[in-house]
Structure 1
Amino acid sequence: MAIRELRIAGYRSLKGLDLPLSELNVFTGPNGCGKSNLYRALVITAAAARGALARSLAEEGGMPSVLWAGERGKGGVRMTLGVAWDDWDYEIACGLPNLKSGPVEEGGTAFFLDPLVKEEWVRAPAAGRRPVALLERKNMSLWLRDRDGKRVSYPLELLASESAMAQIMEPQLYPELAWLRDEMAAWRFYHQFRTDPDSPLRRPQVGVHTPVLSADGHDLAAALQTIIEIGDDAALEDELDAAFPGSELTIFQERGRFEPGLVLPGIRRPFEARELSDGTLRYLCLLAVLLSPRPPALLALNEPETSIHADLLEPLARLIVKASERSQILVVTHSKALASHIEAASGCPVFRLEKVEGETVIAGRTLSGGEEE
């Protein structure tokens, strides 16, 4: 199920941005233009579906730190994240809680960085009619539409700092909401992989079937072995050869622990993970991500070109384009070369972001969102 529109307002440099999305979406622009903010907004949206909204925001300094800090209108201070598909539309709006830091006995709280969910809704578009609301939240009040189509009040107390969708645990009563929550929670995000000498990538790890590479890539060897056994091993071999001609992947196995390695042309022994370059190790991670036997509905890559040699950008672009046949993909990149290779291989336009008066906008659009003459 592909996202057709992404709406972000009041989050860091994204004062108000509505983006039409396709199966493959590439965003580029200079340093400081807000590319990573776009990526993080999607991360936060998925976190809301998992019940990890407050923690995700806390990792960025808490609610006061993530709000748009530029000139504001007369409306309240809030961050709004919205996602629209063909059949569903979801939106959540968060603001600052009316709380103060301090002892509980004095009316204070230690959780003053948490968000306060002010509004939230899920709607299903209806041809020729008003959208049907499946979920409507106003602060702590929540209305739902059950499996029989009846509008009911949710009887349990909500946690103010988390989404209502993550707190509804009755899939038998609200099957559409449960399905949508699981779909969003399964989105995958990858932003760099540690390749320093102490990185788990360079050390043997316990191996189990791993159809989905972890966010930090520590289970790389198991993920590659899983592709070999139950995935498209021929594609893995082809893509490896396209990037490193004549090379051969090997997975070292000892006492249930796996470690990736490469046999390179002219070398009589395989290179272990601790001997591979940063770029080679990261490219192997991208192979595991993009050839996953369990592709997600949405896959977001933030700066996948990091430490990758320029010669590998074209095969990486082709791999990303192929993967977009199985998942909707969003790529945020500094690399003009990678963006150009993806555009050439797919025909999809590249969104170029820029910052105007502190606000992230799409190049060629006015601040009001229209196209420049």
Structure 2
Amino acid sequence: MNRRLLHLTVENFRTLTRVELPLGPLTVMVGPNAAGKSNVLHVFEFLADISRSGIDASLEALGGYPEVSYRGGARSPASMRIGVQGMWTEHATESEPDSYNLSLLYRRRAHGELDEYVLSRNERFVQHPLPDGPAVIKLQRTAASVSGQEPADRQTERLTVGRMDSALHAKLALPSNAPSLTAMQTLSEHLRDIRVFDVDVRAARRPSPIGFPGLLLANDASNLADFLMELRGEDDVWEALMDDIRTVLPHIEDIEVRPVTGRGDRVTVVLKERGLRGTTRLADASFGTIRLLCLLTLFHDPHPPVMTCIEEIDHGIHPHALELLALRLREASERTQFLVTTHSPVFVDRLEPEEFVVCERDDLGRSRIPAISTERIHSIIEASEGLPLGELWFSGSVGGSAW
């Protein structure tokens, strides 16, 4: 089964007061600064954090419910909702997808002070681990209910949970062979592993420890050297990566991963550059060179997570290199989903209308995502007699401009 996410629904998460976003293999969001593009990525970070740490800890890390929820109006909204649809069980389909919905309810305490509020959660899973019909799991207040076709899913005893427990984080008291339990654990693993990739160039320049983290490129590329050492062991992958690097960085003849002198537990990257004696430390390479190296390495990852998010993919990249990045990104989206933001018309020129999402923000601070339908984008392209999509966006013809 091709596991992937199909749709995201958000209400009252920061500026995302009401967002319905289809998720294809490649989804690229464009629009002015502060339109809400980054907040969409933060939704997935929030869900991943819930699966690791639980709801209370995840909210606290972001400053609490009043900070995380929409801050327009006189007071915090009474509820916040996040929903995802997708296929993470064996018998889910695009027409009958799995779904997960989390509602956080922010209510004034009865007979309490005017500023005294109580937070609670509702959670609902609809999953298809068996062919006979969906399994439905609900968490409301301190009770959980499970219904499904498998006897292990049908509980005769009341399941008690904490008021703020999430089944993404805390395992329900179900038999270990319950299909619904396995399905929830699968979703939790997928959400926890979603990669929000934002290169920290300083961290990527440094030597990195050798170890298990090298099997997955870190979200900030801080283990770049160790990950490249892993890729060198896969000849076809390494050869394809080097071909791309030499295409966009023609002065680089080779990349070597070497042990750090006196530190057998660390490795570092050095570059062999055309016309220069010796090698160049990655620490001395330019900002754009390192970002290109990190992004191309990411696209050649043979074992990616179910989704990778990338903030401002064009940042620091020469326009001539964006064509190859767009091509490799689309190829990589056959193995994993990508959710990307950009401000580059050159990059947008390489997109299909189905991959392109316009983002805007109104005078009340609410994001409009998508701000225009795919059908409308097709009609505008047709009326323009085939002008490139990036040019139409930059001119404001499809919305999402900064002026």
Q: TM-score, normalised by structure 2?
A: 0.76
TM-superposed deviation, 1:194? 2.3
Counterpart of 2:186 in structure 1 is: 179
2: CA distance, partners of 1:125 / 1:36 = 31
1: CA distance, partners of 2:242 / 2:195 = 24
TM-superposed deviation, 1:223? 0.5
Counterpart of 1:314 in structure 2 is: 323
2: CA distance, partners of 1:152 / 1:261 = 63
Counterpart of 1:364 in structure 2 is: 372
Q: Which runs of 5+ in 2 are unaligned?
A: 87-93, 374-378, 380-403
- Counterpart selection for 2:242 from 228, 237, 242: 237
1: CA distance, partners of 2:79 / 2:140 = 14
| Cα distance change, pair 262–117 in 1 and its aligned pair in 2 (3 A) | farther
Residues 281-315 of structure 1 show CA distances to partners (whole Å, capped at 9, x for unaligned) of: 12222223222231111111111222223332222
Counterpart of 2:383 in structure 1 is: none
Residues 149-208 of structure 1 show CA distances to partners (whole Å, capped at 9, x for unaligned) of: 4145564432x44422310166433222222222222221112x223xxx3322222223
Kindly indicate whether residue 42 of structure 2 is the aligned counterpart of residue 33 of structure 1: no
Instruction: Report percent identity of matched pairs.
Output: 24
Kindly indicate whether residue 332 of structure 2 is the aligned counterpart of residue 323 of structure 1: yes
| Cα distance change, pair 275–145 in 1 and its aligned pair in 2 (3 A) | same
1: CA distance, partners of 2:316 / 2:336 = 25
- Counterpart selection for 1:219 from 223, 226, 231: 223
Does the residue aligned with 1:122 lie in a helix, a strand or coil? strand
2: CA distance, partners of 1:154 / 1:325 = 43
1: CA distance, partners of 2:42 / 2:353 = 26
- Counterpart selection for 1:121 from 124, 127, 130: 124
Residues 19-50 of structure 1 show CA distances to partners (whole Å, capped at 9, x for unaligned) of: 11211100010011111111111211222233
TM-superposed deviation, 1:355? 0.8
1: CA distance, partners of 2:186 / 2:355 = 31
| Cα distance change, pair 322–235 in 1 and its aligned pair in 2 (3 A) | same
| Cα distance change, pair 347–322 in 1 and its aligned pair in 2 (3 A) | farther
The within-5 A match list for 1:264-283 is 264-283=273-292
Letter in 2 for 1:60: L
- Counterpart selection for 2:21 from 19, 22, 28: 19
2: CA distance, partners of 1:154 / 1:249 = 60
- Counterpart selection for 1:94 from 91, 104, 108: 104
Q: Would you say the 8 A contact 1:48–1:163 is kept in 2?
A: yes
Counterpart of 1:204 in structure 2 is: 207
Bigger shift: residues 32-41 or 224-233: 224-233
Q: TM-score, normalised by structure 1?
A: 0.82
Letter in 2 for 1:275: D
The within-5 A match list for 1:66-81 is 66-71=68-73, 77-81=78-82
The within-5 A match list for 1:341-360 is 341=350, 343=351, 348-357=354-363, 358-360=365-367
2: CA distance, partners of 1:34 / 1:283 = 25
Q: Would you say the 8 A contact 1:135–1:145 is kept in 2?
A: yes
Does the residue aligned with 1:4 lie in a helix, a strand or coil? strand
Letter in 1 for 2:105: G
Count of residue pairs brought into register by the alignment: 344
- Counterpart selection for 1:62 from 61, 64, 68: 64
Does the residue aligned with 1:242 lie in a helix, a strand or coil? helix
TM-superposed deviation, 1:56? 3.7
Q: Would you say the 8 A contact 1:48–1:162 is kept in 2?
A: no
TM-superposed deviation, 1:220? 0.4
Moved over 4 A (4+): 151-154
TM-superposed deviation, 1:230? 3.4
Letter in 2 for 1:80: R
Counterpart of 1:228 in structure 2 is: 232
Give the aligned CA root-mean-square deviation in angstroms. Answer: 3.1
TM-superposed deviation, 1:138? 1.2
1: CA distance, partners of 2:255 / 2:74 = 54
Q: Would you say the 8 A contact 2:326–2:347 is kept in 1?
A: yes
Counterpart of 2:84 in structure 1 is: 83
1: CA distance, partners of 2:100 / 2:347 = 32
Q: Would you say the 8 A contact 1:3–1:83 is kept in 2?
A: yes
